[in-house]
Amino acid sequence: MIDSFKKLGELAQGRDLADVFLESDAREHGVPAEQIIEALTKRRQVMRDCIERGKGGGTSMGKLVGNEAKLLNEAFLAGKTFLDPLTVKAELYALSVMGENSRMGVIVAAPTAGAGGVVPGMLLALEEERNVDPAKTVRALVVAGGVGSIVALSAHISGAAGGCQNEVGVATAMGAAAVAYMMDGTPQQSISAAALALKNTLGLVCDPVGGLVEVPCVKRNALFAVHGLTAAQLALAGVESVIPMDEVVEAMVRIGRALPRGLKETAEGGLATTATGCAIGDRLKDEANQRRAQRAEERERLAHERKAGVAS
């Protein structure tokens, strides 16, 4: 079993990182490589479809977000963006996925839904802008998934367990490793990219306004997609993380434990308890109560009708 990044580095030396993960899955879980590639080919397509839908915008369930992707796309198409196209697309695609997510659309959890924009944002923007073979993107998803699963051996991947570092942070690390792989980096460079990316998200708290995966989550995914690209860039240039990836993960777990409960998805701290955050939270609660009352009424009406039906 590949249970640490140290071991991964040893096993993968001079080899293709995706092959190393695929072989290990075949050996331990009896899942043949073709089957994994097939499943991930489907995942890539779900990501693509989701990005296309998401560009069109729409309103989120909590009505706090939804049109970020549309706005950025319009600016991009009008030639009004100043960043290079790769960066803009990484942001744009991450926003698209998260927009869909906030409308309860179909997405791929990577590794979670709340952090589901980071990996597709980075990978699919890179695929388009640098003409990467889609089959290679699929293999990069193997790498991303592999990195995520090693982290998951020592850390719960959820904001409730350790804050947003455990979600968006881990997604960024997965994406950075996958990007280094797509750009023909060595396995060591992928691991360095993951370490650099994760190191710089440590301490990120989970403080969703009103408890919804909308604010800050949607835009956070976009900004961290870019963060992941820059981590991969450094690693590809030969920059290494002084703290090895395994120890970065350990640090993340310790920080997660030390974070107060209010900053772990409970919506009882951080942005959620700012003046605006509280006002939104109150409004959402009122609306939920109204909906509940409506549903109760509806139920009563149905019961009434049923009774009347029986009587006649």
Partner 1 sequence: MGPVMVGPSSSHTAGTARLGRVAREILDDDPVFVRFVLHPPLAATYRGHGSDFALVGGSIGLNVDDPRIPEAIRIAEQMGVEIEFAEEDMGEVHPNTVRVEIRSRSRSVQIAGSSIGGGVIDVFNINGFSAHFKGDSPTLLLFYRDRPGMISEITGIIADEGINIASLACSRKQRGKDAFMQIDVDSPMSKEALAHICATPDVAEAKYLDRIP
Q: Does 68 bind ligand SF4 (CB under 6 A)?
A: no
Q: Does 91 bind partner 1 (CB under 8 A)?
A: no
Task: Give how far Cα 257 sits from Cα of 68, 162, 251, Å.
Answer: 33, 6, 10
- 88 vs 220, which CB is nearer to partner 1? 220
Query: Which tokens belong to 28?
Result: 């331990």
Task: Give how far Cα 3 sits from Cα of 146, 244, 296, Å.
Answer: 10, 14, 50
For the CA atoms of 86, 230, 182, 213, what is the dihedral angle to 10 degrees?
-80
Q: Does 168 bind ligand SF4 (CB under 6 A)?
A: yes
Q: Does 279 bind partner 1 (CB under 8 A)?
A: no
Q: Does 167 bind ligand SF4 (CB under 6 A)?
A: yes
Q: Round to whole Å and give the CA distance between 196 and 254.
A: 18
Q: Does 217 bind ligand SF4 (CB under 6 A)?
A: yes
Residues 205-264 close enough to bind partner 1 by CB under 8 A? 208, 210-214, 261, 264
**From the list partner 1, ligand SF4, none, partner contacted by residue 169 (C-beta under 5 to 8 A by kind):** none
264: three-class secondary structure by DSSP: strand
**From the list ligand SF4, partner 1, none, partner contacted by residue 168 (C-beta under 5 to 8 A by kind):** ligand SF4
- 51 vs 234, which CB is nearer to partner 1? 51
Q: Round to whole Å and give the CA distance between 227 and 200.
A: 9
Residues 44-63 close enough to bind partner 1 by CB under 8 A? 46, 61-62
Burial 4-24 (b: 16+ CB within 10 A, else e): bbeebbeebeeeebbebbbeb
Q: Does 208 bind ligand SF4 (CB under 6 A)?
A: yes
**From the list partner 1, ligand SF4, none, partner contacted by residue 92 (C-beta under 5 to 8 A by kind):** none
**From the list ligand SF4, partner 1, none, partner contacted by residue 113 (C-beta under 5 to 8 A by kind):** partner 1
Q: Round to whole Å and give the CA distance between 207 and 277.
A: 10
Our measurement of the distance from residue 40's CA atom to the centroid of its chain's CA atoms, rounded to an integer in Å, reads 16
Q: Which residue is nearest to ligand SF4 (CB)?
A: 159
Among 54, 114, 228, 269, binds ligand SF4 (CB under 6 A): 114
Residues in the chain: 312
Least Å from the CB of residue 118 to ligand SF4 = 9
Query: Which tokens belong to 36?
Result: 């994994």
Q: Does 115 bind ligand SF4 (CB under 6 A)?
A: yes
Q: Pick the stretch among 137-145, 163-171, 194-202, 232-240 that binds ligand SF4 (CB under 6 A).
A: 163-171
Q: Round to whole Å and give the CA distance between 295 and 282.
A: 20
**From the list ligand SF4, partner 1, none, partner contacted by residue 239 (C-beta under 5 to 8 A by kind):** none
Residue 206: strand pairing partners:
264
Q: Round to whole Å and give the CA distance between 121 and 15.
A: 26
Within 13 Å of residue 173, how many CA atoms lie on the same side as its CB? 33
Query: Which tokens belong to 5?
Result: 């990044």
Q: Round to whole Å and give the CA distance between 206 and 38.
A: 34
Q: Does 164 bind ligand SF4 (CB under 6 A)?
A: yes
Residue numbers at the binding site for ligand SF4 (CB under 6 A): 114-115, 159, 164, 167-168, 206, 208, 213, 217, 220, 265
Residue numbers at the binding site for partner 1 (CB under 8 A): 30, 40, 42-43, 46, 61-62, 100-114, 116, 141, 144-145, 148, 152, 156-161, 166-167, 208, 210-214, 261, 264-268, 284, 288, 295, 298-299, 302
